[in-house]
Structure 1
Protein backbone atom coordinates (compact mmCIF):
# COMPACT_ATOMS: atom_id res chain seq x y z
CA UNK A 1 0.00 0.00 0.00
CA UNK A 2 3.03 2.32 0.17
CA UNK A 3 2.56 3.36 -3.49
CA UNK A 4 -0.99 4.56 -2.92
CA UNK A 5 -1.54 8.21 -1.95
CA UNK A 6 -3.74 9.07 1.07
CA UNK A 7 -7.21 8.03 -0.09
CA UNK A 8 -9.06 10.91 1.59
CA UNK A 9 -6.74 13.33 -0.14
CA UNK A 10 -7.25 11.53 -3.46
CA UNK A 11 -11.04 11.74 -3.06
CA UNK A 12 -10.83 15.47 -2.29
CA UNK A 13 -8.63 15.98 -5.36
CA UNK A 14 -11.03 14.12 -7.65
CA UNK A 15 -14.04 16.15 -6.51
CA UNK A 16 -12.24 19.51 -6.73
CA UNK A 17 -10.96 18.62 -10.19
CA UNK A 18 -14.42 17.42 -11.29
CA UNK A 19 -16.38 20.39 -9.91
CA UNK A 20 -13.72 23.07 -10.23
CA UNK A 21 -14.51 24.27 -6.74
CA UNK A 22 -13.11 23.70 -3.25
CA UNK A 23 -16.46 24.79 -1.77
CA UNK A 24 -18.38 22.29 -3.92
CA UNK A 25 -16.06 19.52 -2.77
CA UNK A 26 -16.55 20.60 0.85
CA UNK A 27 -20.33 20.51 0.42
CA UNK A 28 -20.20 17.07 -1.20
CA UNK A 29 -18.05 15.61 1.56
CA UNK A 30 -19.77 17.59 4.36
CA UNK A 31 -16.52 19.16 5.56
CA UNK A 32 -15.11 22.70 5.59
CA UNK A 33 -13.31 24.23 2.57
CA UNK A 34 -10.15 24.50 4.68
CA UNK A 35 -10.26 20.74 5.27
CA UNK A 36 -10.39 20.18 1.50
CA UNK A 37 -7.47 22.56 0.99
CA UNK A 38 -5.44 20.62 3.57
CA UNK A 39 -6.12 17.35 1.75
CA UNK A 40 -5.02 18.88 -1.56
CA UNK A 41 -1.76 20.09 0.03
CA UNK A 42 -1.23 16.62 1.52
CA UNK A 43 -1.58 15.02 -1.90
CA UNK A 44 0.78 17.53 -3.49
CA UNK A 45 3.34 16.86 -0.74
CA UNK A 46 2.96 13.11 -1.32
CA UNK A 47 3.87 13.47 -5.01
CA UNK A 48 6.13 16.50 -4.67
CA UNK A 49 4.35 18.34 -7.49
CA UNK A 50 1.73 21.07 -7.77
CA UNK A 51 -1.63 19.71 -8.89
CA UNK A 52 -3.40 23.08 -8.84
CA UNK A 53 -2.28 26.63 -9.50
CA UNK A 54 -3.64 29.21 -7.07
CA UNK A 55 -5.13 32.24 -8.84
CA UNK A 56 -6.51 34.71 -6.33
CA UNK A 57 -9.18 32.80 -4.40
CA UNK A 58 -9.61 30.18 -7.15
CA UNK A 59 -7.81 27.07 -8.38
CA UNK A 60 -6.91 25.82 -11.83
CA UNK A 61 -5.36 22.45 -12.55
CA UNK A 62 -1.76 22.34 -13.65
CA UNK A 63 -0.88 20.17 -16.65
CA UNK A 64 0.34 17.50 -14.23
CA UNK A 65 -2.88 17.73 -12.23
CA UNK A 66 -5.05 17.52 -15.34
CA UNK A 67 -3.18 14.45 -16.59
CA UNK A 68 -3.49 12.75 -13.19
CA UNK A 69 -7.21 13.55 -13.00
CA UNK A 70 -7.80 11.97 -16.42
CA UNK A 71 -6.23 8.75 -15.15
CA UNK A 72 -7.96 8.52 -11.77
CA UNK A 73 -11.47 9.77 -12.53
CA UNK A 74 -12.46 6.65 -14.46
CA UNK A 75 -11.65 4.57 -11.40
CA UNK A 76 -13.92 6.73 -9.24
CA UNK A 77 -16.66 6.36 -11.85
CA UNK A 78 -16.22 2.61 -11.64
CA UNK A 79 -16.51 2.70 -7.85
CA UNK A 80 -19.69 4.79 -8.06
CA UNK A 81 -21.27 2.41 -10.56
CA UNK A 82 -20.31 -0.63 -8.51
CA UNK A 83 -21.79 0.99 -5.40
CA UNK A 84 -24.99 1.83 -7.25
CA UNK A 85 -25.34 -1.79 -8.35
CA UNK A 86 -24.79 -2.99 -4.79
CA UNK A 87 -27.44 -0.62 -3.48
CA UNK A 88 -29.83 -1.78 -6.18
CA UNK A 89 -29.29 -5.42 -5.28
CA UNK A 90 -29.87 -4.66 -1.60
CA UNK A 91 -33.50 -3.77 -2.34
CA UNK A 92 -33.30 -0.09 -1.33
CA UNK A 93 -33.86 2.59 -3.94
CA UNK A 94 -31.20 5.31 -3.77
CA UNK A 95 -32.26 8.82 -4.74
CA UNK A 96 -29.55 11.47 -5.04
CA UNK A 97 -30.95 14.94 -4.44
CA UNK A 98 -29.27 18.35 -4.55
CA UNK A 99 -30.60 21.57 -3.03
CA UNK A 100 -29.63 25.14 -2.28
CA UNK A 101 -28.25 25.24 1.25
CA UNK A 102 -30.71 27.78 2.70
CA UNK A 103 -33.76 26.08 1.17
CA UNK A 104 -32.54 22.71 2.44
CA UNK A 105 -31.99 23.80 6.03
CA UNK A 106 -35.11 25.95 6.33
CA UNK A 107 -37.72 23.98 4.36
CA UNK A 108 -36.56 20.71 2.85
CA UNK A 109 -34.83 18.82 5.66
CA UNK A 110 -37.82 18.44 8.02
CA UNK A 111 -39.93 17.12 5.14
CA UNK A 112 -37.21 14.73 4.00
CA UNK A 113 -36.86 13.37 7.53
CA UNK A 114 -40.57 12.55 7.65
CA UNK A 115 -40.40 11.10 4.13
CA UNK A 116 -37.58 8.76 5.16
CA UNK A 117 -39.57 7.56 8.17
CA UNK A 118 -42.59 6.89 5.97
CA UNK A 119 -40.54 5.27 3.18
CA UNK A 120 -37.63 3.32 4.71
CA UNK A 121 -37.21 1.49 1.41
CA UNK A 122 -35.99 4.74 -0.22
CA UNK A 123 -32.57 6.15 0.64
CA UNK A 124 -32.55 9.90 -0.13
CA UNK A 125 -29.02 11.32 -0.21
CA UNK A 126 -29.01 15.10 -0.01
CA UNK A 127 -26.16 17.35 -1.13
CA UNK A 128 -26.32 21.11 -0.65
CA UNK A 129 -24.71 23.95 -2.54
CA UNK A 130 -25.14 27.71 -2.83
CA UNK A 131 -25.80 27.89 -6.58
CA UNK A 132 -27.55 25.84 -9.26
CA UNK A 133 -25.59 23.63 -11.62
CA UNK A 134 -26.60 20.85 -14.01
CA UNK A 135 -28.09 17.66 -12.63
CA UNK A 136 -24.93 15.71 -13.41
CA UNK A 137 -24.92 12.53 -11.32
CA UNK A 138 -27.99 13.61 -9.34
CA UNK A 139 -31.47 12.17 -9.85
CA UNK A 140 -33.21 15.42 -8.91
CA UNK A 141 -32.46 18.91 -7.66
CA UNK A 142 -34.13 21.96 -6.23
CA UNK A 143 -33.94 24.86 -8.68
CA UNK A 144 -35.11 28.47 -8.41
CA UNK A 145 -36.52 29.80 -11.67
CA UNK A 146 -39.55 29.91 -13.96
CA UNK A 147 -39.86 26.14 -14.41
CA UNK A 148 -39.12 26.25 -18.14
CA UNK A 149 -36.16 23.92 -18.61
CA UNK A 150 -36.15 21.72 -21.73
CA UNK A 151 -36.08 17.95 -21.19
CA UNK A 152 -36.68 18.40 -17.46
CA UNK A 153 -39.77 17.88 -15.36
CA UNK A 154 -40.22 20.80 -12.98
CA UNK A 155 -42.75 20.67 -10.13
CA UNK A 156 -43.31 23.87 -8.07
CA UNK A 157 -42.90 23.32 -4.34
CA UNK A 158 -43.71 26.59 -2.56
CA UNK A 159 -45.07 30.08 -3.22
CA UNK A 160 -42.25 32.58 -3.63
CA UNK A 161 -43.50 35.72 -1.89
CA UNK A 162 -40.98 38.48 -1.15
CA UNK A 163 -41.39 40.87 1.76
CA UNK A 164 -38.95 42.96 3.83
CA UNK A 165 -38.20 41.58 7.29
CA UNK A 166 -36.10 42.87 10.16
CA UNK A 167 -35.43 42.56 13.86
CA UNK A 168 -37.98 44.16 16.21
CA UNK A 169 -35.02 46.22 17.46
CA UNK A 170 -35.20 48.32 14.28
CA UNK A 171 -38.85 49.19 14.89
CA UNK A 172 -39.61 51.98 17.35
CA UNK A 173 -43.34 51.84 16.82
CA UNK A 174 -45.93 49.24 15.93
CA UNK A 175 -47.25 51.06 12.84
CA UNK A 176 -46.38 49.92 9.33
CA UNK A 177 -43.27 51.66 8.01
CA UNK A 178 -42.96 53.55 4.70
CA UNK A 179 -40.34 54.29 2.05
CA UNK A 180 -38.73 57.06 4.11
CA UNK A 181 -38.16 54.60 6.96
CA UNK A 182 -36.71 52.07 4.52
CA UNK A 183 -34.31 54.71 3.16
CA UNK A 184 -32.79 55.04 6.64
CA UNK A 185 -32.10 51.30 6.91
CA UNK A 186 -29.34 49.08 5.54
CA UNK A 187 -30.71 46.83 2.81
CA UNK A 188 -29.30 43.31 2.90
CA UNK A 189 -28.67 42.04 -0.63
CA UNK A 190 -28.10 38.37 -1.51
CA UNK A 191 -25.47 37.71 -4.14
CA UNK A 192 -27.38 34.78 -5.62
CA UNK A 193 -30.57 36.87 -5.95
CA UNK A 194 -29.25 40.35 -6.87
CA UNK A 195 -32.45 41.61 -8.55
CA UNK A 196 -34.97 40.89 -5.77
CA UNK A 197 -34.84 44.32 -4.15
CA UNK A 198 -35.20 46.09 -7.51
CA UNK A 199 -38.19 43.91 -8.42
CA UNK A 200 -39.85 44.50 -5.06
CA UNK A 201 -39.25 48.26 -5.11
CA UNK A 202 -40.56 48.57 -8.66
CA UNK A 203 -43.74 46.65 -7.76
CA UNK A 204 -44.15 48.62 -4.52
CA UNK A 205 -43.73 51.97 -6.29
CA UNK A 206 -40.56 52.89 -4.39
CA UNK A 207 -37.63 54.67 -6.07
CA UNK A 208 -34.70 52.41 -5.33
CA UNK A 209 -32.27 55.23 -6.11
CA UNK A 210 -33.17 56.72 -2.75
CA UNK A 211 -32.12 53.58 -0.89
CA UNK A 212 -28.42 54.24 -0.47
CA UNK A 213 -27.43 52.03 2.46
CA UNK A 214 -26.70 48.54 1.19
CA UNK A 215 -24.76 45.46 2.21
CA UNK A 216 -24.16 42.39 0.04
CA UNK A 217 -24.08 38.89 1.56
CA UNK A 218 -23.21 35.51 0.10
CA UNK A 219 -26.47 33.69 0.83
CA UNK A 220 -30.04 34.11 2.03
CA UNK A 221 -29.11 32.31 5.24
CA UNK A 222 -26.55 35.02 6.05
CA UNK A 223 -29.01 37.78 5.16
CA UNK A 224 -31.65 36.32 7.47
CA UNK A 225 -29.10 35.96 10.28
CA UNK A 226 -27.96 39.55 9.79
CA UNK A 227 -31.59 40.67 9.94
CA UNK A 228 -32.15 38.68 13.14
CA UNK A 229 -29.15 40.42 14.70
CA UNK A 230 -30.47 43.86 13.77
CA UNK A 231 -27.91 44.69 11.07
CA UNK A 232 -30.44 45.62 8.40
CA UNK A 233 -33.54 44.70 6.43
CA UNK A 234 -33.60 41.49 4.41
CA UNK A 235 -35.96 40.84 1.51
CA UNK A 236 -37.17 37.44 2.61
CA UNK A 237 -38.81 34.61 0.77
CA UNK A 238 -41.57 34.33 3.36
CA UNK A 239 -41.82 30.55 3.25
CA UNK A 240 -38.23 30.38 4.55
CA UNK A 241 -38.73 32.64 7.58
CA UNK A 242 -42.14 31.44 8.79
CA UNK A 243 -40.79 30.21 12.12
CA UNK A 244 -38.99 33.48 12.94
CA UNK A 245 -42.05 35.54 12.00
CA UNK A 246 -44.33 33.34 14.09
CA UNK A 247 -41.99 33.62 17.08
CA UNK A 248 -41.64 37.39 16.72
CA UNK A 249 -37.88 37.18 16.17
CA UNK A 250 -38.41 38.82 12.77
CA UNK A 251 -41.05 41.39 11.85
CA UNK A 252 -42.48 42.43 8.46
CA UNK A 253 -42.46 46.23 8.77
CA UNK A 254 -43.93 47.04 5.34
CA UNK A 255 -47.30 45.86 4.09
CA UNK A 256 -46.46 45.22 0.44
CA UNK A 257 -45.51 41.67 -0.55
CA UNK A 258 -44.45 40.63 -4.05
CA UNK A 259 -45.65 37.24 -5.31
CA UNK A 260 -43.14 36.03 -7.92
CA UNK A 261 -45.76 33.49 -9.07
CA UNK A 262 -44.10 31.03 -11.47
CA UNK A 263 -40.59 32.12 -10.41
CA UNK A 264 -40.16 29.86 -7.42
CA UNK A 265 -38.47 26.68 -6.18
CA UNK A 266 -39.02 23.56 -8.26
CA UNK A 267 -38.20 19.89 -7.87
CA UNK A 268 -36.36 19.25 -11.15
CA UNK A 269 -35.58 15.89 -12.74
CA UNK A 270 -34.75 14.50 -16.17
CA UNK A 271 -37.89 13.54 -18.09
CA UNK A 272 -36.14 10.29 -19.06
CA UNK A 273 -35.19 9.35 -15.51
CA UNK A 274 -35.31 5.63 -14.79
CA UNK A 275 -36.28 6.44 -11.20
CA UNK A 276 -39.58 8.09 -12.11
CA UNK A 277 -41.66 5.98 -9.72
CA UNK A 278 -39.50 6.93 -6.74
CA UNK A 279 -39.31 10.57 -7.86
CA UNK A 280 -43.10 10.68 -8.09
CA UNK A 281 -43.35 9.43 -4.51
CA UNK A 282 -41.01 12.18 -3.31
CA UNK A 283 -42.85 14.79 -5.38
CA UNK A 284 -46.22 13.83 -3.93
CA UNK A 285 -44.79 14.00 -0.41
CA UNK A 286 -43.12 17.38 -0.83
CA UNK A 287 -46.21 18.95 -2.37
CA UNK A 288 -48.55 17.54 0.29
CA UNK A 289 -49.80 19.95 2.97
CA UNK A 290 -49.16 17.21 5.55
CA UNK A 291 -45.48 16.71 4.63
CA UNK A 292 -44.00 18.92 7.34
Structure 2
Protein backbone atom coordinates (compact mmCIF):
# COMPACT_ATOMS: atom_id res chain seq x y z
CA UNK A 1 0.00 0.00 0.00
CA UNK A 2 1.28 3.49 -0.86
CA UNK A 3 2.59 5.64 1.98
CA UNK A 4 0.15 8.42 2.84
CA UNK A 5 0.07 11.27 5.34
CA UNK A 6 -2.24 10.68 8.32
CA UNK A 7 -5.88 11.30 7.38
CA UNK A 8 -6.48 13.50 10.44
CA UNK A 9 -3.56 15.73 9.44
CA UNK A 10 -4.82 16.02 5.86
CA UNK A 11 -8.28 16.90 7.16
CA UNK A 12 -6.88 19.64 9.40
CA UNK A 13 -4.82 21.02 6.50
CA UNK A 14 -7.84 20.99 4.17
CA UNK A 15 -10.10 22.77 6.67
CA UNK A 16 -7.40 25.35 7.48
CA UNK A 17 -7.04 26.19 3.78
CA UNK A 18 -10.77 26.72 3.39
CA UNK A 19 -11.20 28.51 6.72
CA UNK A 20 -8.23 30.78 6.01
CA UNK A 21 -6.53 30.47 9.40
CA UNK A 22 -5.50 28.01 12.10
CA UNK A 23 -7.90 29.60 14.58
CA UNK A 24 -10.92 29.23 12.30
CA UNK A 25 -9.94 25.63 11.52
CA UNK A 26 -9.63 24.84 15.22
CA UNK A 27 -13.16 26.16 15.84
CA UNK A 28 -14.56 24.13 12.95
CA UNK A 29 -12.80 20.90 13.98
CA UNK A 30 -13.37 21.37 17.74
CA UNK A 31 -9.66 20.99 18.48
CA UNK A 32 -7.04 23.41 19.80
CA UNK A 33 -5.02 25.89 17.77
CA UNK A 34 -1.91 23.92 18.72
CA UNK A 35 -3.40 20.67 17.43
CA UNK A 36 -4.08 22.27 14.05
CA UNK A 37 -0.51 23.56 13.96
CA UNK A 38 0.92 20.10 14.73
CA UNK A 39 -1.25 18.45 12.05
CA UNK A 40 -0.08 20.94 9.43
CA UNK A 41 3.56 20.44 10.44
CA UNK A 42 3.08 16.73 9.74
CA UNK A 43 1.67 17.48 6.29
CA UNK A 44 4.44 19.99 5.52
CA UNK A 45 7.10 17.47 6.53
CA UNK A 46 5.52 14.77 4.38
CA UNK A 47 5.29 17.00 1.26
CA UNK A 48 8.59 18.75 1.96
CA UNK A 49 7.30 22.30 1.52
CA UNK A 50 5.96 25.15 3.64
CA UNK A 51 2.20 25.25 3.15
CA UNK A 52 1.35 28.31 5.26
CA UNK A 53 3.05 31.68 5.62
CA UNK A 54 2.70 34.34 8.30
CA UNK A 55 0.56 37.33 7.39
CA UNK A 56 0.18 39.75 10.27
CA UNK A 57 -1.01 37.75 13.26
CA UNK A 58 -2.34 34.90 11.09
CA UNK A 59 -0.91 32.07 9.08
CA UNK A 60 -2.45 31.81 5.62
CA UNK A 61 -2.17 29.11 2.92
CA UNK A 62 0.29 29.50 0.06
CA UNK A 63 -0.88 29.19 -3.58
CA UNK A 64 0.68 25.70 -3.59
CA UNK A 65 -1.36 24.79 -0.51
CA UNK A 66 -4.60 26.03 -2.08
CA UNK A 67 -3.96 23.95 -5.21
CA UNK A 68 -3.25 20.91 -3.06
CA UNK A 69 -6.43 21.57 -1.05
CA UNK A 70 -8.52 21.62 -4.23
CA UNK A 71 -7.13 18.21 -5.18
CA UNK A 72 -7.79 16.89 -1.68
CA UNK A 73 -11.37 18.17 -1.84
CA UNK A 74 -12.11 15.74 -4.66
CA UNK A 75 -10.46 12.91 -2.71
CA UNK A 76 -12.51 13.67 0.40
CA UNK A 77 -15.69 13.78 -1.72
CA UNK A 78 -14.82 10.32 -3.06
CA UNK A 79 -14.21 9.00 0.45
CA UNK A 80 -17.53 10.45 1.64
CA UNK A 81 -19.29 8.84 -1.30
CA UNK A 82 -17.73 5.45 -0.55
CA UNK A 83 -18.64 5.72 3.13
CA UNK A 84 -22.23 6.62 2.24
CA UNK A 85 -22.65 3.80 -0.26
CA UNK A 86 -20.94 1.07 1.77
CA UNK A 87 -21.94 2.20 5.25
CA UNK A 88 -24.25 0.03 7.32
CA UNK A 89 -22.87 -3.07 5.64
CA UNK A 90 -23.72 -1.75 2.18
CA UNK A 91 -27.38 -1.45 3.07
CA UNK A 92 -27.52 2.31 2.52
CA UNK A 93 -28.32 1.37 -1.09
CA UNK A 94 -27.40 4.73 -2.64
CA UNK A 95 -27.60 4.55 -6.43
CA UNK A 96 -25.85 7.41 -8.23
CA UNK A 97 -27.16 8.34 -11.68
CA UNK A 98 -25.90 11.04 -14.08
CA UNK A 99 -28.46 12.35 -16.59
CA UNK A 100 -28.40 15.15 -19.21
CA UNK A 101 -30.26 18.16 -17.85
CA UNK A 102 -33.24 18.28 -20.23
CA UNK A 103 -33.82 14.52 -20.15
CA UNK A 104 -33.69 14.63 -16.36
CA UNK A 105 -36.13 17.53 -15.97
CA UNK A 106 -38.59 16.65 -18.73
CA UNK A 107 -38.48 12.87 -19.05
CA UNK A 108 -36.98 11.16 -16.00
CA UNK A 109 -38.23 13.22 -13.04
CA UNK A 110 -41.92 13.21 -14.08
CA UNK A 111 -41.76 9.40 -14.16
CA UNK A 112 -39.78 8.69 -10.99
CA UNK A 113 -42.84 8.41 -8.76
CA UNK A 114 -43.67 5.24 -10.67
CA UNK A 115 -40.25 3.79 -9.85
CA UNK A 116 -40.49 4.76 -6.17
CA UNK A 117 -43.95 3.19 -5.99
CA UNK A 118 -42.38 -0.10 -7.06
CA UNK A 119 -39.21 0.31 -4.99
CA UNK A 120 -40.11 2.53 -2.01
CA UNK A 121 -36.79 1.89 -0.25
CA UNK A 122 -34.69 2.91 -3.26
CA UNK A 123 -32.21 5.69 -2.57
CA UNK A 124 -31.48 7.41 -5.88
CA UNK A 125 -29.09 10.31 -6.22
CA UNK A 126 -29.68 12.10 -9.54
CA UNK A 127 -27.00 14.45 -10.91
CA UNK A 128 -27.53 16.51 -14.06
CA UNK A 129 -24.95 17.04 -16.81
CA UNK A 130 -24.97 19.96 -19.22
CA UNK A 131 -22.65 18.22 -21.66
CA UNK A 132 -22.43 14.85 -23.31
CA UNK A 133 -18.98 14.29 -21.82
CA UNK A 134 -18.74 10.86 -20.23
CA UNK A 135 -15.67 11.50 -18.11
CA UNK A 136 -17.25 13.53 -15.33
CA UNK A 137 -15.47 13.85 -11.98
CA UNK A 138 -17.25 11.78 -9.37
CA UNK A 139 -18.59 8.29 -8.95
CA UNK A 140 -21.67 7.20 -10.85
CA UNK A 141 -23.24 3.76 -10.90
CA UNK A 142 -25.07 4.56 -14.12
CA UNK A 143 -24.89 7.31 -16.74
CA UNK A 144 -27.57 8.12 -19.30
CA UNK A 145 -26.08 9.34 -22.55
CA UNK A 146 -26.72 9.42 -26.30
CA UNK A 147 -23.43 7.67 -27.09
CA UNK A 148 -21.94 4.41 -25.88
CA UNK A 149 -18.27 5.54 -26.00
CA UNK A 150 -16.43 2.31 -26.69
CA UNK A 151 -15.67 -0.39 -24.17
CA UNK A 152 -15.50 1.65 -20.95
CA UNK A 153 -19.19 1.05 -20.33
CA UNK A 154 -21.74 -1.68 -20.82
CA UNK A 155 -24.72 -0.18 -22.64
CA UNK A 156 -28.46 -0.85 -22.65
CA UNK A 157 -30.53 1.14 -25.19
CA UNK A 158 -33.85 2.30 -23.77
CA UNK A 159 -35.17 5.39 -25.56
CA UNK A 160 -35.29 6.36 -29.23
CA UNK A 161 -36.03 9.93 -30.17
CA UNK A 162 -36.47 12.24 -33.15
CA UNK A 163 -36.66 16.01 -33.43
CA UNK A 164 -39.58 17.80 -35.03
CA UNK A 165 -40.87 21.35 -35.18
CA UNK A 166 -42.70 22.48 -32.03
CA UNK A 167 -44.45 25.59 -30.78
CA UNK A 168 -46.47 26.70 -27.78
CA UNK A 169 -50.22 27.42 -28.01
CA UNK A 170 -49.44 31.06 -27.18
CA UNK A 171 -47.22 31.42 -30.25
CA UNK A 172 -49.71 29.61 -32.50
CA UNK A 173 -52.37 32.12 -31.49
CA UNK A 174 -50.16 34.92 -32.82
CA UNK A 175 -48.81 33.16 -35.91
CA UNK A 176 -50.75 30.95 -38.31
CA UNK A 177 -48.42 28.08 -39.21
CA UNK A 178 -50.30 25.89 -41.67
CA UNK A 179 -47.47 25.10 -44.10
CA UNK A 180 -43.74 24.63 -43.46
CA UNK A 181 -42.95 27.89 -45.26
CA UNK A 182 -45.05 29.78 -42.69
CA UNK A 183 -42.26 29.39 -40.11
CA UNK A 184 -40.44 32.28 -41.77
CA UNK A 185 -43.13 34.64 -40.49
CA UNK A 186 -42.20 34.08 -36.83
CA UNK A 187 -39.00 33.90 -34.74
CA UNK A 188 -37.02 30.67 -34.81
CA UNK A 189 -35.17 29.33 -31.77
CA UNK A 190 -31.72 27.82 -32.27
CA UNK A 191 -29.51 26.00 -29.77
CA UNK A 192 -25.77 26.60 -30.07
CA UNK A 193 -24.89 23.17 -28.69
CA UNK A 194 -27.04 21.55 -31.40
CA UNK A 195 -25.67 23.19 -34.55
CA UNK A 196 -27.04 22.35 -37.96
CA UNK A 197 -30.42 21.02 -36.85
CA UNK A 198 -32.34 23.86 -38.46
CA UNK A 199 -30.53 23.37 -41.77
CA UNK A 200 -31.39 19.67 -41.67
CA UNK A 201 -35.05 20.42 -41.01
CA UNK A 202 -35.29 23.10 -43.72
CA UNK A 203 -33.71 20.70 -46.22
CA UNK A 204 -36.12 17.91 -45.22
CA UNK A 205 -39.02 20.37 -45.61
CA UNK A 206 -37.80 21.45 -49.05
CA UNK A 207 -37.17 25.04 -47.95
CA UNK A 208 -34.35 27.46 -48.67
CA UNK A 209 -32.18 27.61 -45.57
CA UNK A 210 -31.10 31.17 -46.39
CA UNK A 211 -34.65 32.50 -46.31
CA UNK A 212 -36.21 34.22 -43.33
CA UNK A 213 -34.67 35.89 -40.31
CA UNK A 214 -35.50 36.52 -36.67
CA UNK A 215 -33.40 33.72 -35.19
CA UNK A 216 -33.12 33.64 -31.38
CA UNK A 217 -30.00 31.78 -30.22
CA UNK A 218 -29.38 30.20 -26.81
CA UNK A 219 -26.44 28.24 -25.47
CA UNK A 220 -28.12 25.09 -24.10
CA UNK A 221 -31.28 23.28 -25.08
CA UNK A 222 -32.95 23.60 -21.68
CA UNK A 223 -32.78 27.39 -22.19
CA UNK A 224 -34.15 27.08 -25.74
CA UNK A 225 -36.94 24.88 -24.42
CA UNK A 226 -37.94 27.51 -21.88
CA UNK A 227 -38.08 30.07 -24.69
CA UNK A 228 -40.31 27.73 -26.73
CA UNK A 229 -42.65 27.20 -23.78
CA UNK A 230 -42.85 30.97 -23.27
CA UNK A 231 -43.94 31.43 -26.89
CA UNK A 232 -40.83 33.32 -27.96
CA UNK A 233 -40.47 31.30 -31.15
CA UNK A 234 -40.75 27.95 -32.91
CA UNK A 235 -38.04 25.40 -32.30
CA UNK A 236 -36.92 21.85 -32.87
CA UNK A 237 -37.44 19.51 -29.96
CA UNK A 238 -37.04 15.80 -29.17
CA UNK A 239 -40.51 14.24 -29.30
CA UNK A 240 -40.15 11.55 -26.63
CA UNK A 241 -38.01 13.60 -24.28
CA UNK A 242 -40.76 16.23 -24.30
CA UNK A 243 -43.69 13.80 -24.32
CA UNK A 244 -45.00 15.15 -21.00
CA UNK A 245 -45.04 18.73 -22.32
CA UNK A 246 -46.80 17.52 -25.47
CA UNK A 247 -49.42 15.45 -23.64
CA UNK A 248 -50.17 18.38 -21.31
CA UNK A 249 -50.70 20.68 -24.27
CA UNK A 250 -47.77 22.94 -23.44
CA UNK A 251 -46.10 22.21 -26.77
CA UNK A 252 -47.65 21.22 -30.09
CA UNK A 253 -45.67 19.23 -32.67
CA UNK A 254 -45.92 20.71 -36.17
CA UNK A 255 -45.49 18.73 -39.40
CA UNK A 256 -44.48 15.70 -37.36
CA UNK A 257 -43.70 13.62 -40.43
CA UNK A 258 -40.68 15.89 -40.97
CA UNK A 259 -38.14 14.64 -38.41
CA UNK A 260 -34.40 15.12 -38.08
CA UNK A 261 -31.54 14.28 -35.71
CA UNK A 262 -32.61 10.80 -34.58
CA UNK A 263 -30.85 9.64 -31.45
CA UNK A 264 -30.79 6.77 -29.00
CA UNK A 265 -30.34 7.05 -25.25
CA UNK A 266 -28.36 4.39 -23.42
CA UNK A 267 -28.06 3.36 -19.80
CA UNK A 268 -24.29 3.08 -19.35
CA UNK A 269 -22.64 1.20 -16.51
CA UNK A 270 -18.91 1.81 -16.04
CA UNK A 271 -16.78 -1.31 -16.28
CA UNK A 272 -16.00 -2.46 -12.75
CA UNK A 273 -19.31 -1.39 -11.22
CA UNK A 274 -21.05 -4.39 -9.70
CA UNK A 275 -24.73 -4.28 -10.61
CA UNK A 276 -27.01 -4.62 -7.61
CA UNK A 277 -30.65 -5.70 -7.69
CA UNK A 278 -31.63 -2.02 -7.57
CA UNK A 279 -29.30 -1.26 -10.48
CA UNK A 280 -30.87 -3.96 -12.66
CA UNK A 281 -34.37 -2.94 -11.61
CA UNK A 282 -33.67 0.65 -12.64
CA UNK A 283 -32.35 -0.47 -16.04
CA UNK A 284 -35.45 -2.62 -16.62
CA UNK A 285 -37.67 0.27 -15.58
CA UNK A 286 -35.94 2.64 -18.02
CA UNK A 287 -36.54 0.18 -20.86
CA UNK A 288 -40.21 -0.21 -19.94
CA UNK A 289 -40.69 3.56 -19.76
CA UNK A 290 -39.00 4.04 -23.12
CA UNK A 291 -41.41 1.58 -24.72
CA UNK A 292 -44.40 3.60 -23.48
CA UNK A 293 -43.43 6.86 -25.16
CA UNK A 294 -44.99 8.66 -28.10
CA UNK A 295 -44.89 7.00 -31.51
CA UNK A 296 -44.62 9.16 -34.60
CA UNK A 297 -47.70 7.49 -36.02
CA UNK A 298 -49.72 8.83 -33.08
CA UNK A 299 -48.92 12.47 -33.88
CA UNK A 300 -50.92 14.69 -36.23
CA UNK A 301 -49.01 15.12 -39.46
Report if TM-score (shorter chain) is over 0.5. yes
CA RMSD of aligned residues (A): 3.2
- Which residue in 2 is equivalent to 1:176? 178
- The structure that has the greater radius of gyration is 2
Measured in 1, the distance between the counterparts of 2:163 and 2:27 equals 48
Summarize deviations over 1:42-81 as a string: whole Å, max 9, x none: xxxxx89799xxxxxxxxxx64531332455444433333
Question: 2:69 and 2:81 mapped to 1: Cα distance?
Answer: 19
Match of 2:112 in 1: 112
**Deviation string for 1:255-280 (max 9, x for gaps)?**
4331544x222211124321254322
SS at match of 2:265: strand
Contact 2:155 2:267 in 1 (8 A): yes
Partner residue, 2:221:
220
Change (3 A) 1:184 1:116: same
Retained in 1: the 8 A contact 2:200–2:260? no
Bigger shift: 246-255 or 96-105? 246-255
> Match for residue 86 of structure 1?
87
Query: Residues 271 and 74 (structure 1 numbering): CA distance in 2 closer, same or farther, change over 3 Å?
Result: closer
Q: CA deviation at 1:5?
A: 8.0
1:41 is matched with which residue?
A: none
Corresponding residue number in structure 1 for 2:288 = 288
* Contact 1:98–1:129 under 8 Å retained in 2: yes
Matches for 1:120-135 after TM superposition, within 5 Å: 120-133=120-133, 134=135
For the pair 1:4 / 2:6, whether they are aligned, the reply is no
**Distance of 2:27 and 2:150 partners within structure 1:** 41
**How many angstroms does 1:234 deviate by?**
1.4
Give 5+ residue unaligned stretches, structure 1: 8-46, 52-61
Is the 1:144–1:266 Cα contact (8 Å) retained in structure 2? Answer: yes
Query: Which residue does 2:190 correspond to in 1?
Result: 189
CA separation in 1, counterparts of 2:65 and 2:266? 40
Aligned pair count reads 239
Separation (CA, whole Å) in 1 of partners of 2:59 and 2:159: 51
Structure 1 residues 195 and 268, CA, compared in 2 at 3 Å: closer, same or farther?
Answer: farther
1:192, 1:218 within 8 Å by CA — same for their partners in 2? yes
CA gap of 1:251–1:114, structure 2 versus 1, over 3 A, is closer
- For residues 209-231 of structure 1, the C-alpha deviation after alignment (integer angstroms, 9 at most, x for no partner) is 22432112233332222122221
Unaligned runs of 5+ in 2: 1-21, 29-57, 294-301
What is the Cα deviation at residue 237 of structure 1?
0.6
Alignment of 1:234-245 (within 5 A): 234-245=235-246
| 1:242-257 paired onto structure 2 within 5 Å | 242-257=243-258
Closer, same or farther: CA 68–195 of 1 in aligned 2, 3 Å: same
Contact map agreement 2:175 2:185 (CA 8 A) in 1: no
SS at match of 1:208: coil
Alignment of structure 1 residues 1-292 onto 2, 5 Å: 2-4=23-25, 63-87=64-88, 89=89, 91-133=91-133, 134=135, 136-145=138-147, 147-171=148-172, 176-179=178-181, 181-258=182-259, 260-261=261-262, 263-275=263-275, 277-289=277-289
**Deviations 1:7-29, CA, capped at 9 Å, x for gaps:** 7xxxxxxxxxxxxxxxxxxxxxx
- Could you tell me how far apart the structure 2 residues matched to 1:72 and 1:119 are? 33
Partners of 2:228 and 2:275 in 1: how far apart? 40
Aligned partners of 1:6, 1:196: CA distance in 2, in Å? 56
CA contact (8 A) 2:162 2:261 kept: yes
